[in-house]
Amino acid sequence: MVTNFTMDHGLSTIDEPIYYGVIMIRVRFAPSPTGYLHIGSARTALFNWVYARHCGGKFILRIEDTDRARSEDRFLHEIMEDLRWLGLDWDEEPIFQSKRFDVYRKAADTIVRAGKGYRDGEAYIFKVEPGRTITLDDMIHGRIVFNTNEIKDQVMIKSDGSPAYNFSCVIDDAYLKITHIIRGDDHVSNTPKQILFYEALGIACPTFGHMPLIMGMDGAKLSKRHGGVSVEEYKKEGYLPEALINYLLLLGWSPGGDREVISLNEAVRAFDIDHMKGVQAKFDIQKLTWMNGEYIMAKKTEELLPFIKTQMAVAGKTTSSDEKILRVIALYKVRIKTLSEFVTLTDHFFSDDYSVDEKGRQKYLSSAENKQILKEFTRQLEALKDFSYVATEGACRAFAQEKNLKTGQVIHPTRMAVSGKTAGAGLFEMMEILGKEKTLERMRAAAR
């Protein structure tokens, strides 16, 4: 059971009881704009969002910007953009804790006047009654029991006038009528302290669910050595939002069976918080990268175009016509795992200033024999009127047969000459996109 309440200057008054079965589920995500959106925080936002959408409820955004020195607008902008990029929208205008200091102070003053707290200079302190047992029925872990002997008196308002985290959370969650709080295991120790504040204010507690934290594959706290730790890093590296969302969904929850690829909409329909796992989730960058490659392959070429153009722009690469980029994407989307790989692997399509594999150049273009093969094959191609990949491949095989060569003896020097690389897409498909003039120009230059 929860209680319906109204807020007056941040305080609650108990109204008639309403059951979860007939009220709207309301959850919240509360980022702090002191840095970029952490991958663990994105996972927290994701499960709150999915739970709200599954239940037909509301997903609320609260900005915890009480740290005035470290909170920055640029981080707030990035966090909100990253949430939108992931497809996680919110239902109401966000509230900002920095604008509610007077609300917190009035609530703390009421608790002190009721004899449940005291002043210590400019600070407001809540008196914790010793010897009490606090029981939490967690949605993920089940029953957790705390003893107040292990909890010291709690600061409500600090001496500088800013609110303490646990106190401001309770005031804001009550104001927003939050019914369920889904967050990381690192908040378990905060929960009994917050329950005490709910009791002091005469507000029924929301339902809590604490998710195990994301760890590295070695069991250590997630850090740079395990891969990127912010959503922004994965976005820049060229991971698709659908792939990142899909992977985060699997860290603590399963759609059932052996299924691993699931869309956000499908997850909303299938989600059951009772199926969330109470064990630590391990972040496997290799699995995420594999999954990203699967999403890239499955995506329509036209849908990848804006992502690819962004990658090229960030890398300072001159963009070509959309038509040409689309042709190259179609050729390479089955070969890349991240979109950032596209820029390096395809630079020879868009500029003459492209990267060259020096070992490959020495191996395939340094000998007089290979240069001679390249010269003669160039003359063979000059005679072609049709420069499609079918025609150039046919010319290559005919040339190799005529000269009693293996096709690889022709293909390898030619690939190095036109792309500067020893591997990549099919040589003849590359030559068709580059066009006859550019292909022959590079072959002549390499054969000198």
Task: Say yes or no to pLDDT of 52 above 50.
Answer: yes
The whole-number average pLDDT for the span 97-108 is 97
Beta-carbon contacts of 77 under 8 Å, excluding residues fewer than 6 positions away, are: none
Q: What is the DSSP letter of 222?
A: P
Over residues 307-326, mean pLDDT: 89
Coil vs helix vs strand at 89: coil
b/e per residue 52-76 (b: at least 16 CB within 10 A): bbbbebbbbbbbbbbeeeebeeebb
pLDDT value of residue 68: 87
Quick one: CA dihedral 417, 419, 420, 424, positive or negative?
negative
Q: Which residues, 6+ apart, have CB-to-CB distance to 29 below 8 Å? A: 41, 44, 45, 48, 49, 59, 60, 61, 62, 83, 90
Q: List the structure tokens of 177.
A: 């009528």
Domains of the chain are: 2-211 (3.40.50.620), 356-447 (1.10.10.350)
Determine contact, residues 149/131, Cβ cutoff 8 Å. Answer: yes
CA–chain centroid gap for 57, Å, is 23
* Strand residue runs (E) in 268-396: 281-283
Indicate the average pLDDT of the chain: 92
Residue positions annotated with a catalytic role: 224
Confidence of residue 348 (pLDDT cuts 50, 70, 90): very high
To 5 degrees, how large is the angle CA 167–CA 172–CA 178? 120
Residue 244: in which H helix or E strand, if any?
Answer: helix 241-249
For residue 221, what pLDDT band results from cuts at 50, 70 and 90? confident
Alpha-carbon gap, residue 86 to 89, rounded angstroms: 9
Grade residue 222 by pLDDT with cuts at 50, 70 and 90.
confident
- pLDDT at position 280: 81
Q: For residue range 186-195, what is the model confidence (pLDDT) as tens digits?
A: 999 999 999 9
pLDDT value of residue 393: 97
pLDDT band at 163 (very low <50, low <70, confident <90, very high): very high
Specify the 3-state DSSP secondary structure of 275. helix
Band of the pLDDT at 14, cuts 50, 70, 90?
Answer: very low
Average pLDDT (249-278) is 89
What is the C-alpha separation between 178 and 373, in angstroms, rounded? 74
Please say whether the beta carbons of 201 and 170 come within 8 A.
yes
- Confidence (pLDDT) at 254: 87
Do residues 325 and 305 make contact, with C-beta atoms less than 8 angstroms apart?
A: yes
pLDDT tens figures, 387-414: 999 999 999 999 999 999 999 999 999 9
Q: What is the pTM of this model?
A: 0.88
